[in-house]
Amino acid sequence: MSHSKNSNFHLLMFPWFAFGHMTPFLHLSNRLAERGYSSTFLLPIKAIQHLQHLNLYPHLITFHPLAVPHVEGLPEGTQTASDIPIQFTSLLAAAMDRTRDQVERVIRDTKPKLIIYDAAHWVPEITKAFGIKAINYSVVSAASIAIVLVPARNVPKDKPITEAELLVPPTGYPSSTVVLRGHEVRSLLFISQPFGEGITFYERIYKAMKESDALAIRTCNETEGKFCEYIGSQYGKPVFLTGPMLPEPPKTPLEDRWVKWLSGFQPGSVVFCAFGSQIVLEKNQFQELVLGLELTGLPFLVALKPPMGAATVEEALPKGFEARVKGRGVVWGGWVQQLMILEHPSVGCFVSHCGFGSMWESLMSDCRAVLIPHLGDQILNTRFMAEELKVAVEVVRDEKAWFSKEDLSKSIKSVMDKGSEMGSMLKENHRKWREMLNKGLMTSYVDKFIQNMHELVN
C-alpha cells in the first residue's frame, strides 16, 4: 500500500505515563514509521532511556521529554507508574495534567496532523482550538472497556459505585460470559475513585473518549468485534482497530541455561508458568502453586517474583520441595525470555495470569493455556479465552480468590493428558484461531488504520 502524503503526515503520540501504555504506543509508532510516517513521542524524561532501544526508526520517531512536575504527596522524582505503589497513581495523573502547557507548546511547534492519546482527557480541548484531530487509543482489551467505561454504565456522580451495581453489566453489553462474578467486581471499585485532581477514573476516561474525534483499540475484529461495535455505538464514534501491536520478535537467542535445561525433556511436555510484570503472590498461595505443579508429575519451569515478605523465591519454597522436584522442576525468581520459552519445542503448557500481552503470546503459541487471572482486565481476558474462544481452561478459585494445588494440577492435566477430550477440543480451537490471527492479518490492520487516519483528517 502506498501513501503519497505520508511524508508530511506528522503524528503526536501521548500515552499515559506507564510502560504498559508507552510500549504499545511505541510499537504503533514503529509500524507507522515502517510505512514512512513520522511522529513526535511525548515521554517523561526518565522513560526515554528505558524505551530508546524499542525505537526502531529513530530518524522518524522523535522522543520529546516532558518534565513531570512534582505534586504534593508524590514521592520525589516520580515520573512513571512503575516508580510508585498503585495507591499513588491518582497523584501521578495530577502530575500528568500539569504537563498541559508543555504539551500545548509541542502542538504549536510541531503542528501534527493528528494526536493519539489516552489518559489526558484535556487533549481534545487543545486540538479543537488548533483544528487538529485527536484519536483516543485504548491499549487494554475491548471487553474491559465495554464493561465499565461506556455511558450505559451509569456511574453515580455523587457517591462511590457499589459492588451490587458493578455486578450488572451495562445495558446492551454484548456477552453473558465475558463478565466478572461475585467478589471479582471488587477489582473495579476504583473507577469511581479520584484519578487526578477533582476527577474520578471513570470521568477522566469517559471524557477522554467522548471528546475525541475517533476511538482506536488495540485489538482485532475477528476476536473482539462485537465489543468494539458496542463501544462505538455507545460513544457515537468511529472505532479504528490496530490489531494487538505485538513487539517484533526479539533477535537475541534464548539463554543457554534454558536451552540446555529444556532440551532434556520430551517435545511438548514442560509446563511453563509466569505472571507478568506486576503480580506478587502471598507466600502461602505461592507455595500452593508450586505444590500444584509438583502434583502434576510433569516437568515445569516457574518464573515468578518472590512472594510477599520474601527476598528470594528459594527461601519461600515449601519444605523438602527442591529435593523432591530436583531434575524436573525449576522455580526462578528473575526475568526470563517468555516469548522464546513459549516457542521452545519442549514446552507444551503455559500457566499464565492472562495479562493482555501474555494472552496474545499464548494465543499465538502452540502451548495449551491454563489461566489464573488476578486483576480485573485479566479476569475478562481469561473468560474470553476460556468461554468465548474456547482455547483455554481457567483454574477454579474460591470466594477469597484462593486456588488449591489440586485444582491447579487438575486443570493442567485436563489439557495435557493424552486422550483428554477437553485437551483435544481446546487444541483444535486454538489451532484454528492461531491460523486465522496470522502475520498477514496483523499487517492488514496497520494498513487499514492508516487508511482510517487519512479519512479522518481529510
Ligand X SMILES: O=c1ccn([C@@H]2O[C@H](COP(=O)(O)OP(=O)(O)O[C@H]3O[C@H](CO)[C@@H](O)[C@H](O)[C@H]3O)[C@@H](O)[C@H]2O)c(=O)[nH]1
Q: Which is nearer to ligand X, 6 or 365 (CB)?
A: 365
Q: What residues between 202 and 231 interact with ligand X by CB under 6 A?
A: none
Q: Please pick, from the candidates 102, 193, 221, 278, the single residue that binds ligand X as defined by CB under 6 A.
A: 278
- Selected range binding ligand X among 110-118, 181-189, 343-351, 355-363, rule: CB under 6 A: 355-363
In angstroms, give the least distance from the CB of 256 to ligand X.
17
In angstroms, give the least distance from the CB of 428 to ligand X.
25
Q: Please pick, from the candidates 337, 414, 420, 443, the single residue that binds ligand X as defined by CB under 6 A.
A: 337
Q: Which is nearer to ligand X, 132 or 208 (CB)?
A: 208
Asked whether position 339 contacts ligand X by CB under 6 A, the answer is yes
Q: Do residues 403 and 414 make contact, with C-beta atoms less than 8 angstroms apart?
A: no
Residue nearest to ligand X (CB): 276
Q: Which is nearer to ligand X, 224 or 361 (CB)?
A: 361
Residues in contact with ligand X, total (CB under 6 A)? 21
Closest CA to 441 of 363, 348, 343: 363
Distance CA 248, CA 45 (A): 24
Question: What sign does the CA torsion over 170, 174, 177, 178 have?
Answer: negative
Q: Please pick, from the candidates 6, 78, 136, 358, the single residue that binds ligand X as defined by CB under 6 A.
A: 358
Q: In a 10 Å sphere around its CB, with 0-12 CB exposed, 13-18 middle and 19+ buried, how is residue 281 labelled?
A: buried
Q: How many CB atoms lie within 10 A of CB 266?
A: 11
Q: What residues between 134 and 153 interact with ligand X by CB under 6 A?
A: 139-140
Q: Please pick, from the candidates 377, 391, 393, 394, the single residue that binds ligand X as defined by CB under 6 A.
A: 377
Asked whether position 274 contacts ligand X by CB under 6 A, the answer is yes
Distance CA 93, CA 117 (A): 14
Residue with cell 476516561: 205
| CA 90 remoteness from chain centre | 20
- Tell me phi and psi for residue 453, to 5 degrees: -65, -45
Asked whether position 338 contacts ligand X by CB under 6 A, the answer is yes
- Selected range binding ligand X among 125-133, 189-197, 284-292, 373-381, rule: CB under 6 A: 373-381
Q: Which is nearer to ligand X, 6 or 352 (CB)?
A: 352
In angstroms, give the least distance from the CB of 15 to ligand X.
11
Asked whether position 378 contacts ligand X by CB under 6 A, the answer is yes
Q: Is 112 helix (H, G, I), strand (E, B) or coil?
A: coil
Q: Do residues 168 and 246 make contact, with C-beta atoms less than 8 angstroms apart?
A: no
Asked whether position 336 contacts ligand X by CB under 6 A, the answer is yes
- Selected range binding ligand X among 92-100, 124-132, 191-199, 351-359, rule: CB under 6 A: 351-359
Q: What residues between 81 and 140 interact with ligand X by CB under 6 A?
A: 139-140
Asked whether position 277 contacts ligand X by CB under 6 A, the answer is yes
Question: What sign does the CA torsion over 315, 316, 320, 326 have?
Answer: negative
In angstroms, give the least distance from the CB of 424 to ligand X.
27
Q: Do residues 137 and 117 make contact, with C-beta atoms less than 8 angstroms apart?
A: yes
In angstroms, give the least distance from the CB of 363 to ligand X.
12
In angstroms, give the least distance from the CB of 456 to ligand X.
25
**DSSP per-residue string spanning 430-452:** HHHHHHHS-HHHHHHHHHHHHHH
| CA 191 remoteness from chain centre | 18
Q: Please pick, from the candidates 66, 149, 303, 426, the single residue that binds ligand X as defined by CB under 6 A.
A: 303
Residues in the chain: 458
In angstroms, give the least distance from the CB of 75 to ligand X.
21
Assign 3-state DSSP to the chain and report helix, strand, coil percentages, each to 5.
50, 15, 40
In angstroms, give the least distance from the CB of 397 to ligand X.
16
Q: Please pick, from the candidates 335, 417, 438, 451, the single residue that binds ligand X as defined by CB under 6 A.
A: 335
End-to-end CA distance of the chain: 18
Distance CA 373, CA 383 (A): 9
Q: Which is nearer to ligand X, 109 or 282 (CB)?
A: 282
Q: How many CB atoms lie within 10 A of CB 145?
A: 24
Q: Do residues 39 and 32 make contact, with C-beta atoms less than 8 angstroms apart?
A: yes
In angstroms, give the least distance from the CB of 274 to ligand X.
5
Asked whether position 294 contacts ligand X by CB under 6 A, the answer is no
Q: Do residues 304 and 329 make contact, with C-beta atoms less than 8 angstroms apart?
A: no
Q: Please pick, from the candidates 14, 15, 17, 20, the single residue that binds ligand X as defined by CB under 6 A.
A: 20
| C-alpha cell belonging to residue 269 | 511436555
- Selected range binding ligand X among 146-154, 289-297, 330-338, 409-417, rule: CB under 6 A: 330-338
Which residues are near ligand X by CB under 6 A?
Answer: 20, 139-140, 274, 276-278, 303, 335-339, 355-358, 361, 375, 377-378
